[in-house]
Structure 1
């Protein structure tokens, strides 16, 4: 992961020239572990710019049939202008690539029942255009055509920044009114940036949250037992069904503005619900990044932050192993040293 972050995920990926370099590197990394990738192009409705998502499918035995239970692990690879984008969202891309490497290796040794799709979204920073196009143009038609069920989607958006110092964590103005219990927990933790935020809906996503939290807790037990400060998870469950006014939706906007919204709100949401969780270190609400866009560079790759990224990647791998029906699930802790020789290198 350190190699990916330092080589091609620490350079701005805002314009098409910059993004094409990143896409090529992502595709090479996938091909190196035996995964063929495809480029899904789309047009940004307002600017008429052409965007490009990268998709790789790790097929299960029931792929393309109604018996398949699909998992999606995704991260956006574009950046805001002027940002090197190591945390936002080089860290998410690196974690997804590492998960793909480990799961592909395990496929050589263990059977797996369900399909895993790895998606790298373009244009998150342009109205979530890439994830919206993926859901509408690729995912929903596939689900309708094959009767495939999606049992879980994970959006990884900033998994690197761990800042265990009092008052290092900010939150949007409406945080306390929407999430009073979470606000109380954050207060008890002295507003330290020592957690991962898990955003979800309070009905559709409950089972996915439960299973991810179990994987995350196990990763913490295995990886952070000797840390001075112990990472924890801050769960933000949104009651989307109770949003009845534009004013309330506007106030909830800071908690919805990432690619999970494309899976929450789509053209068939009344009849097709896609379990989805959003994982983030809160990006520019934490530590020095509150004040400095350009600071999201190699500076972020401290030993502490890289350990946190390894922990987050561990949790994603554990979730995929369990939910994909891999026979490695029963021996995952025995495989631990094998899996995480990857560590942060």
Structure 2
């Protein structure tokens, strides 16, 4: 009886012959509706922001707009935040999990992959987790964030960490057990030579470079950036979720996306400010691998007191396929059958990861539901 009830609540979707937890049609709708036009100036961003808030509220989550001032330009930015509270929220017994993506774009860039795909995955993960809450208990709090101003010195994520997250931890003594930053998870290009990398890649990550070479430099992977030692446990847990999601979809998709793990030693970079100085780039060579919102979690103001376990997921954005030569070629034509399957895989992996990290009791039934649904033809 319990299984039948879940079947009626969840929309385990078969799309392009692929059965997934995530509803790909919903993600296609969100991307097409409000994540496929430039989100660079305030007028453009406000339209997307309202739509993101409505999408989060439609799944039963109250959302808030967190406004901040860019420290260098005095521009006003706005993040969208939704909190899925656990039973211990506001106490030292809580453990916080953050899932986030930026919603702004470069000027005149439609931003379907960068980063409409990341925002769509955050919204869909929130929908699934909210639905699970009607059936299963969950121990810990999940915070969903869509950042503004990634393309302006990471101002939105920096403001969120400093103005919202750290004060919450200081006030409640809760622990941040995971932060995931998603930055382009749509583009899949399994053709030899379709993947480029920054000039520093082979020197800094020789093992990863060898692995990419063995795959003929195809853009058929997800890249996961982390810090050596600090984030190893998080990388392991996400890898487990990713690999299991890949296994569940392997019979329906001939391609086998893999994971390229880049573990960084950032001991010589002590602050976010130093990240942007030429000397830091010259001495460490890590600038291309740090220039996204995960750096706001790496280099926060309480870094001497505690670290925030963080991973960054990306399809490498304009280093893959046609976007190497045309950065602004990021429109609706990116939503091919193959790319949507890749987005579905990544979103499923994120959902599995959230279930485990938040200690939802649904962890015991997800595989059973997959197996059940894989034997059913969905019209």
TM-score range, shorter chain: over 0.9
- Give CA-to-partner distance per residue, 1:2-27, whole Å, 9 cap, x none: 00011110010000000000000000
CA distance in 2, matches of 1:309, 1:225: 17
Verify: 1:300 aligned to 2:326, yes or no. no
1:287 aligns with 2:321: yes
- Partner residue, 2:15: none
- Measured after TM superposition, the shift of residue 198 of structure 1 is 0.4
Does the Cα contact within 8 Å between 2:139 and 2:358 map onto a contact in 1? yes
Query: For residues 165 and 72 of structure 1, what CA distance do their matches in structure 2 show?
Result: 34
| Structure 2 residue 191 is matched with structure 1 residue 181 | no
Question: Residue 236 of structure 1 corresponds to which residue in structure 2?
Answer: 262
| TM-score calculated relative to the size of structure 2 | 0.87
TM-score between the two structures when normalised by the length of structure 1: 0.96
Query: In structure 2, how many angstroms separate the alpha carbons of the residues matched to 1:47 and 1:225?
Result: 51
| Aligned CA-pair RMSD | 1.5
- Separation in 2, partners of 1:274, 1:338: 37
2:288 matched to which residue of 1?
Answer: 254
Give the 3-state SS of the residue equivalent to 2:286 in structure 1: helix
Q: How does 1:165-204 map to 2 (within 5 A)?
A: 165-204=191-230
Segments of 4+ moved more than 6 angstroms: 337-340
Instruction: Report 1:80-99 matches (<5 A).
Output: 80-99=106-125
3-state secondary structure, aligned to 2:72: coil
* CA distance in 2: counterparts of 1:20 and 1:167, whole angstroms: 39
Aligned partner of 1:46 in structure 2 is: 72
163, 166, 176: which is aligned to 1:140? 166
Q: How many angstroms apart in 2 are the aligned matches of 1:224 and 1:132?
A: 38
Equivalent-residue separation in structure 1 for 2:227 and 2:283 (angstroms): 14
2:182 to 148, 153, 156: 156
**Are residues 339 and 106 of structure 1, via their aligned partners in 2, closer, same or farther at CA, if it must alter by over 3 Å?**
farther
Q: How does 1:101-112 map to 2 (within 5 A)?
A: 101-112=127-138
May I ask how many residue pairs the two structures share in their alignment?
Answer: 340
For residues 88-110 of structure 1, the C-alpha deviation after alignment (integer angstroms, 9 at most, x for no partner) is: 00000000000000000000000
8 Å Cα contact 1:70-1:148 kept in structure 2 = yes
Deviation at 1:250, TM superposition (A): 5.5
- SS at structure 1 position matched to 2:368: coil
Instruction: Tell me if the contact between 2:281 and 2:287 (Cα under 8 Å) persists in the aligned partners.
Output: no
| Residue of 276, 291, 311 corresponding to 1:277 | 311
What CA deviation, in whole Å up to 9, does each residue of 1:95-139 have, x standing for no partner?
Answer: 000000000000000000000000000000000000000011111
1:21 is matched with 47
In 2, the alpha carbon distance for the partners of 1:107 and 1:35 equals 11
How many Å apart are 1:225 and its aligned residue? 3.4
The CA deviation string for residues 159-214 of structure 1, in whole angstroms up to 9 with x for no partner, is 00000000000000000111000000000000000000000001111111000000
1:126 equivalenced with 2:122 (yes/no): no
In the alignment, structure 2 segments of 5+ residues that lack a partner are: 1-26, 271-278, 375-379
Q: Hey, what's the Cα distance between the residues in 2 that align with 1:30 and 1:298?
A: 22
Of structures 1 and 2, the larger Rg is shown by: 2
